[in-house]
Chain A
């Protein structure tokens, strides 16, 4: 006896949830059968009850089926306003839904089409998790419109403030939308909670329906590399040295100047030489005097100046390369977007 009661309890606990799911399905099936038998009042009863039971279920297909048959039933029950309201609810539930014209006659599809045209709405399909690197991909979404109308797709912060408008314009049947991970000013968005808001607009540009997908965005930036340190004095060679009052310049200039002026007479002793040598020699000697005054006390060491210039140039090149690499790294980030369940908000009366 006890064993029998226990078995019944176990069976009841196991089967009950299944029955709970099956009841609306059987109600819908009964409603569809009654509709096909032209018993519209009975069909309306089954389908209304089924819809009340599955209102909270995420099973869009079953609800759409129930709404479709209930709307068609109401058409034949001569309740066009109710039928239109049911079809508008169907459009909002599934904007891409189209009723089967092979099953339903024109008087039903006509009411549905009118309701669809009067109900701008958008459905969107996003993968629940998307990963991309800025500059090499992005978040992608596919939008499906109930009818031709304008939409505005925005990435918003959790408080609904705008991050970036991704699209603003018309949609017909479908529309791909992408986001590259950047805000309106081109910066990579920081990690945080955001939302993708898709607003369906009426002819006046007023949002009549907003579909929101909560997004959890995780942004991982690449580390920057340190800039190379500027070469300090210990790494550089002395570029100037004491020059004993520029004596080297003076002696060098005078020596070459005198040599150019006088030595040609020794080379071409039996020739008549021009005075050009004196002009050149004089210029060189004067340049030596100029050098004497210009380099008194110090003079550059060209080898060291050149070596230091190479060191500084190498440092500048390394610094510029590191800065460019850091710019690249700052401009790129690995982004993970986790997409939550959507929420649709319809304007009252729409």
Chain B
């Protein structure tokens, strides 16, 4: 067990696609919870705090969103601690203001004393948003893994995830705050691996859409 309470950097952040010339940068923090099923062990649950930073730059209906998360997850019971990091870069196209389609790469790493386990996923995503008031915007994102590079033998049976949240514009200033929930699941039955990553966090940012 690693000393201290694991600190995790959670990224709840999915940088929203910009529909006009835009730029945004956000930092956030939150709770990450990983449910992992290994072939020779029961389900292992690790959790901890994480910090995230994400940004987006858009030109017209096209935008590029990047996100990075890092933290430490503390295992319960016999499970050991692990450092956890995620990064993604998604290219979005928004044919209408309230919906966008995207595709990009999603990387995930577990850093343990025995080595680093890396997951690489190619994903397609769909995003919808609804402006509730002038200051409140709700959004939801769903994605599927369409290609992967796995650290275990076997093929990916399923990979999908979703994120939803609420963005609050802070007055007329270019600042905003977000509340985010995200869940992501990968399953490799050949290797007996399944894992579900949950992230709950908040973020504040600056940017103009």
Contacts and interface: CB of A to CB of B under 8 A. Distances in A.
A255 interface: yes
A3 to B, nearest CB: 103
A276 B139 CA distance: 16
Given A256-B130, A267-B162, A290-B133, A280 B179 contact: yes
Which of B43, B132, B200 has the largest count of A CB atoms less than 10 A from its CB?
A: B132
B165 interface: yes
Interface stretch (A67-75, A106-114, A184-192, A295-303): A295-303
Contacts of B142: 263
B206 interface: no
Given A260-B165, A283-B166, A249 B194 contact: no
A291 B132 contact: yes
A255 B162 CA distance: 14
Interface stretch (B84-92, B117-125, B180-188): B180-188
B130 A276 contact: no
Interface of B is mostly: strand
B136 A291 contact: yes
B164 A281 contact: yes
A283 B20 CA distance: 28
Interface residues of B, number: 36
Interface of A is mostly: helix
Contact of A290 (B35, B136, B161, B194): B136
B196 A273 contact: yes
Interface in A285-322: 287-288, 290-291, 294-295, 299-300, 302-303, 306
Nearest to B142: A263
B198 interface: yes
A284 B165 contact: yes
B134 interface: yes
A267 B185 contact: yes
B208 to A, nearest CB: 10
Given A249-B130, A267-B185, A284-B165, A276 B200 contact: yes
B138 A257 contact: yes
Contacts of A59: none
Given A256-B164, A291-B132, A284 B33 contact: no
A256 B138 contact: yes
22 contacts: A249-B130, A249-B131, A249-B132, A255-B140, A256-B130, A257-B138, A259-B140, A260-B164, A264-B198, A268-B185, A272-B43, A273-B183, A274-B31, A277-B200, A280-B166, A280-B179, A281-B164, A287-B132, A287-B133, A288-B130, A291-B136, A294-B133
Interface of B: 20, 31, 33, 35, 37, 43, 45, 97, 128-134, 136, 138-140, 142, 160-162, 164-166, 179-181, 183-185, 194, 196, 198, 200
